[in-house]
Amino acid sequence: MGEGFLGYDTSVMLDVVVVALVVVVPLLMLSLCQVRFGQRYLVHRRLQLTLGAVLLVAVSLFEIDMRLHGGFWTMSQNHSTAMHVLLYVHLFFAISTVVLWAATIGLALRRFESPPLPGAHSRLHRRLGWLSTLDITATSITGLLVYYFGFVVEAVAG
């Protein structure tokens, strides 16, 4: 393997996803600020749709890449019980993020006007949005921990 660009024995797509995990939460916060403080609903909508599409493509390519490289356990040097637990916690958040974000975006596209304005769906959308935000934040944190303990620590120790 070893064709990653962050300096560790990883794949390019694994490094792309790690960079995406670092970038997505600040961009998500920027999107939320557009609504909360600027009432720029169309900007918020465009940012969310762009983030969702980019992440969907990146994660899909990442999953294909993982399969081509034999899966996580073939790539990582860390096979400890703690690493198994961390990976499964990360997968829980990653899968629930996809479900929550898809529901949040899908319902918003159906229930908000175009251009988007506050309405009857706003209260549910706000709750789903915050749940999605917390979930993607947990996905990002656990994903970065998986990367660190799966690839960085072994490289530094070795």
Neighbours of 53 (CB within 10 A): 11
The pTM score is 0.91
Residue 21, pLDDT score: 92
Looking at the chain, how many residues does it have? 158
Residue 157, pLDDT score: 59
Span 133-154, pLDDT tens digits: 999 999 999 999 999 999 998 7
Check pLDDT > 60 for residue 82.
Answer: yes
The answer to whether residues 111 and 119 touch, using CB atoms and an 8 Å cutoff, is yes
Please give the average per-residue pLDDT across 38-43, as a whole number.
95
Span 94-124, pLDDT tens digits: 999 999 999 999 999 999 999 999 999 999 9
Residue 75, pLDDT score: 86
Residue 156, pLDDT score: 63
Q: Where are the domains of the chain?
A: 12-157
Check pLDDT > 60 for residue 131.
Answer: yes
Contacts of 7 (CB under 8 A, 6+ apart): 155
The answer to whether residues 32 and 129 touch, using CB atoms and an 8 Å cutoff, is yes
The band of 3, judged by pLDDT with boundaries at 50, 70 and 90, is: confident
